[in-house]
């Protein structure tokens, strides 16, 4: 009895600890009080989920374009009259966070930590992690402090390990300037920010995602735009409509088109046909089929967690299968013994073919 009580208490403590950890990760992701001695006090703080308030936030228009959910900001005073601000923006998905990072960055994109991807322009730092984008600005603060705070915020957000959008993986490697990559999850963000980052002019469709980057080869330069549509049929219609009406932002530039499944590639620049073919040739698209039954299974069935119910059903099936096999093996052994006995009784050397035992009395 004592052992059962102790086991129950241990399980309760473990559950409470796990719950506290979850609350820490999903709740306030700002540094804890006294976690960094350099942070003296909080001078201002705000948090909201109303998109109408984005008009008063720097870059709030972009947050709205890619899919806004929540904004939080905290400003600290530090030693030597410096200040440090932390902005945490929760967006629609990981593509939106990645897009925000590529459009607001001031240097090359790097793999995390902190975050899944980050950029730094001393002493400031930005990173994306899952569907969260974080910007830390240190006005007079050291670069080391900014990085340590970024790692702290990243740890509180929890492990995400998001990958770049699939469209980015289709960017050809020949002549690719990764420092110029810009990703747009939708046309709204492209309309508002393509001119700012120097992208080529495009004829926009209602539903497409866009990835752009600068390319250079053989002293020739240009811009490659990859347009991803919902289906190959929509991409074919767009591709057909572009023929003969290709955009050329500068005189002397040439435009090259290619379609691969739902992706349309548009290369605009001073490239000759041979170089353009080398750049566009690796762009391919293939469909894959994946079994997702386990992922789509309902979480609960008749009030019972699906994983537990599945285990019980599989266990019962295994028991029934084992019982059936035991019965079959038992019947087989019985038949063999019966046949062996009949064979023995039919033998001429058997003392009594009738199988009876007699007692002779004299």
Confidence grade of residue 11 (pLDDT, cut at 50, 70, 90): very low
| Weakest mean pLDDT among 45-54, 164-173, 268-277, 282-291 | 282-291
Residue 200 has pLDDT above 80, yes or no: no
Residue 235 has pLDDT above 60, yes or no: yes
| Weakest mean pLDDT among 43-57, 91-105, 216-230, 287-301 | 287-301
Across all residues in the chain, what is the average pLDDT?
A: 80
Confidence grade of residue 362 (pLDDT, cut at 50, 70, 90): low
Domains of the chain by range and CATH?
26-157 (3.40.1000), 166-280 (3.30.200)
Highest mean pLDDT range out of 187-196, 245-254, 263-272? 263-272
Confidence grade of residue 62 (pLDDT, cut at 50, 70, 90): very high
Angle, vertex CA 337, rays to CA 336 and CA 338, nearest 5? 90
Mean per-residue pLDDT, 79-84: 80
Q: How far apart are CA 51 and CA 65, in angstroms?
A: 11
Between residues 56 and 2, the one the model is more confident about: 56
Q: Residue 264's beta-bridge partner residues?
A: 227, 259
Whether residue 81 contacts residue 56, with contact meaning beta carbons closer than 8 Å, is answered with no
Residue 211 has pLDDT above 50, yes or no: yes
Mean per-residue pLDDT, 312-317: 82
Whether residue 138 contacts residue 84, with contact meaning beta carbons closer than 8 Å, is answered with yes
């Amino acid at each position: 009895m004592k052992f059962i009580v102790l086991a129950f208490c241990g399980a309760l403590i473990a559950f409470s600890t796990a719950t506290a950890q979850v609350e820490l990760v999903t709740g306030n992701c700002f540094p804890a009080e006294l976690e960094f001695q350099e942070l003296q006090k909080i001078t201002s703080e705000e948090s909201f989920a109303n998109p109408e308030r984005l008009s008063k936030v720097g870059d709030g228009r972009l947050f709205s374009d890619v899919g806004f959910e929540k904004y939080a900001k905290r400003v600290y005073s530090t030693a030597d009259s410096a200040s440090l601000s932390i902005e945490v923006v929760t967006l629609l998905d990981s593509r939106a966070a990645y897009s925000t990072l590529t459009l607001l960055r001031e240097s090359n994109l790097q793999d995390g930590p902190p975050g899944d991807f980050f950029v730094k322009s001393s002493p400031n730092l930005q990173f994306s992690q899952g569907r969260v984008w974080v910007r830390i600005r240190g006005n007079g603060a050291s670069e080391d402090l900014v990085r340590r705070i970024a790692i702290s915020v990243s740890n509180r957000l929890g492990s995400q390990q998001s990958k770049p959008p699939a469209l980015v993986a289709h960017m050809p490697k020949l002549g690719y300037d990764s420092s110029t990559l810009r990703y747009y999850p939708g046309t709204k963000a492209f309309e508002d920010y393509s001119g700012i980052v120097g992208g080529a002019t495009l004829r926009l469709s209602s539903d497409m995602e866009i990835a752009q980057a600068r390319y250079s080869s053989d002293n020739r330069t240009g811009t490659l735009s990859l347009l991803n549509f919902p289906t190959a049929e929509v991409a074919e219609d767009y591709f057909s409509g572009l023929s003969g009406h290709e955009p050329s932002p500068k005189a002397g530039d040439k435009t090259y088109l290619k379609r691969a499944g739902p992706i349309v590639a548009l290369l605009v620049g001073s490239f000759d046909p041979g170089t353009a073919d080398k750049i566009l040739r690796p762009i391919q698209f293939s469909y894959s089929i994946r079994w997702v039954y386990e992922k789509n299974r309902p979480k609960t069935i008749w009030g019972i967690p699906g994983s537990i119910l599945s285990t019980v059903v599989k266990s019962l099936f295994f028991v029934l299968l084992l019982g059936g096999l035991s019965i079959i093996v038992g019947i087989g052994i019985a038949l063999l013994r019966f046949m062996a006995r009949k064979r023995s009784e039919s033998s001429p050397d058997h003392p009594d073919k009738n199988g009876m035992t007699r007692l002779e009395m004299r």
